[in-house]
């Protein structure tokens, strides 16, 4: 390395969702320089990203304005060195299928979800490293108490601000069909000042293994917990995929608790619940002893067949076409649409236009049409993201494997749609919209 060349990240330590400025300099004008990032995860897997850049007349390269000509990403993309990280072994999907941990099955580096991640940035000329810098991205800001929740039948994690001198909004964050406890959006939302309850509702500890006939009374207990433990007076809910569907359900059926919602890649009607071991289907949700109306599946394809097709197709089994047929049935459109007009606050639907898992953009449009037809009194909008599929990550999260997903419960390879670059670009748009939505719900 020389004393004149440099690479720099600003800030050198930040929250994971922050925009990071990366610049390098001290090169000959017109020199081709490879800028790279490296991250070694807790399993010892090295993740790398790089781009080849041409230095400007001042010998400088700024990722905000300089295009990568070749690499794990191309074009002008300020966050390219983060979302395009890939295992050193490459991007073959066997990395997910053969993984022995959930993070790798989902195409993500293996880390404690709340631990800081440290990246090494390098500048190389003709294969030789000539400058190096370090960047640390924190998942959780200072001043937040993490609480393991095992209260009655409630299970999950809560993120509570230690400073209780002022009132603040409280958010319930929900997972999708993979179950467990939501640990992606929740710490990010807590880090911008909200109290957050990541409430597990199946496939976690002693909860049911299956997304099947889950009573909404469970979530009522969760909101009561938030009122008691957070002192919350205004609460919102958000979730992705089946959690997005659930967010619509909770906003519609529990408006006395929900002051706003962000359904992410949601559906306009409830889907069938499913025992992934037996294949049995039925209601996903119940309330006051009755089933929430749902769309019954017409497809009789076995799990074995889905797995076979998922293995054969380059990006896995595309469930969206069959799912849309199910949800377009006359009785579903007529009798099963979630009565979202009963909600009591602002709504932000977020969808990927290229979703191959289920047609969430179509479903979100049906939600909007219902709100329009019913004269909904509160703010609502649908953010439809281009080149984005079922995966909607936060800024700087790896999206290399986003077009496909290895479902950790069903053990089937599923197509998600979109592109890695599209998901990477959409992340900041989505995060900005989420922050604006919660400012509307809770006040700036």
Please give the helix or strand (H or E) that residue 243 lies within, else none.
helix 242-253
| Mean pLDDT of all residues in 326-330 | 96
Token pair of 250 as six digits: 């909770």
Per-residue pLDDT tens digits for 205-227: 999 999 999 999 999 999 999 99
Q: If pLDDT is split at 50, 70 and 90, which confidence band does 411 have?
A: confident
The answer to whether residue 141 scores a pLDDT higher than 80 is yes
pLDDT at residue 80, rounded to an integer? 98
Q: List Cα–Cα distances, 407 to 47, 176, 413, in angstroms.
A: 22, 11, 6
Assigned token pair, 151: 């209260």
For position 186, what pLDDT does the model report? 98
From 42-46, 314-318, 418-422, the region with the lowest mean pLDDT:
314-318
Record the tokens describing residue 385, joined without a space.
């993201």
Before 88, cis peptide (omega within 30)? no
Percent of the chain residues past pLDDT 90, beyond the cut: 89
Report pLDDT for 444. Answer: 64
pLDDT higher than 70, residue 83: yes
Percent of the chain with pLDDT over 70: 99
Domain boundaries, the chain: 6-138, 144-442
User: Would you state the pLDDT for residue 2?
Assistant: 52
Say how many C-beta atoms besides its own lie within 10 A of residue 162's C-beta.
8
Least confident of 150-164, 238-252, 277-291, 323-337: 277-291
Q: What pLDDT is attached to residue 279?
A: 72
Q: How confident is residue 417, by pLDDT bands cut at 50, 70 and 90?
A: very high
- Section 440-444 average pLDDT: 89
Range with the poorest average pLDDT among 138-152, 263-277, 390-404:
263-277
Tokens 């090169």 locate to: 27
Beta bridge partner(s), residue 295: 271
Q: Which of 45, 124, 38 is nearest to 85 (CA)?
A: 38
| CATH number of this structure's domain 6-138 | 2.60.40.2240
User: 344, exposed or middle or buried, with CB in 10 Å at 0-12, 13-18, 19+?
Assistant: middle
Encoding tokens for residue 73?
A: 């990403």
Predicted confidence at residue 278, as pLDDT, reads 76
Q: How many residues does the chain have?
A: 444
- Nearest CA among 344, 173, 197, 172 for reference residue 256: 344
pLDDT for the residue 304: 86
Question: 144-442 sits in which CATH class?
Answer: alpha beta
């Amino acid at each position: 390395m020389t004393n004149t060349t440099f690479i720099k990240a600003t800030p050198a330590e930040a929250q994971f969702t922050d925009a990071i400025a990366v610049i390098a300099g001290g090169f000959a004008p017109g020199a081709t320089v490879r800028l790279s990032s490296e991250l070694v995860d807790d399993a010892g897997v090295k993740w790398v990203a790089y781009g080849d850049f041409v230095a400007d007349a001042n010998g400088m390269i700024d990722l905000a304005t300089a295009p990568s000509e070749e690499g794990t990403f191309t074009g002008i993309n300020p966050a390219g060195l983060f979302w395009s990280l890939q295992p050193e072994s490459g991007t073959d999907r066997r990395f997910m299928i053969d993984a022995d941990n959930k993070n790798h099955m989902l195409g993500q580096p293996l880390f404690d979800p709340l631990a800081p991640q440290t990246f090494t940035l390098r500048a190389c000329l003709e294969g030789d490293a000539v400058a190096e810098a370090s960047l640390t991205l924190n998942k959780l800001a200072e001043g937040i108490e993490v609480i393991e929740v095992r209260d009655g039948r409630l299970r999950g994690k809560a993120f509570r601000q230690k400073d209780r001198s002022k009132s603040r909004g409280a958010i319930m964050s929900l997972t999708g069909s993979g179950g467990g406890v939501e640990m992606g959006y929740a710490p990010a939302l807590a880090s911008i000042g909200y109290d957050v309850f990541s409430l597990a509702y199946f496939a976690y500890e002693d909860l049911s293994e299956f997304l099947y006939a889950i009573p909404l009374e469970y979530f009522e207990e969760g909101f009561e917990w938030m009122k008691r433990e957070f002192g919350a007076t205004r609460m919102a809910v958000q979730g992705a995929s089946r959690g997005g569907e659930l967010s619509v359900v909770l906003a519609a059926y529990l408006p006395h608790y929900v002051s706003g919602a962000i359904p992410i890649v949601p559906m306009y009607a409830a889907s069938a619940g499913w025992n992934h071991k037996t294949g049995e289907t039925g209601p996903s949700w119940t309330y006051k002893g009755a089933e929430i109306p749902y769309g019954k599946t017409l497809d009789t394809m076995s799990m074995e067949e889905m797995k076979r097709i998922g293995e054969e197709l380059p990006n896995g089994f595309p469930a969206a076409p069959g799912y849309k047929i199910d949800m377009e049935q006359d009785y579903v459109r007529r009798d099963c649409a979630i009565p979202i007009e009963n909600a009591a606050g602002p709504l932000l639907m977020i969808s990927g236009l290229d979703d191959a898992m289920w047609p969430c953009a179509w479903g979100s449009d049906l939600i909007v049409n219902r709100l329009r037809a019913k004269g909904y009194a509160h703010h609502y909008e649908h953010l439809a993201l281009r080149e984005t599929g079922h995966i909607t990550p936060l800024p700087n999260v790896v999206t290399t494997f986003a077009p496909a997903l290895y479902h950790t419960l069903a053990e089937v390879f599923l197509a998600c749609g979109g592109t890695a670059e599209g998901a990477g670009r959409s992340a900041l748009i989505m995060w900005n919209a989420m922050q604006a939505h919660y400012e509307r719900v809770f006040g700036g």
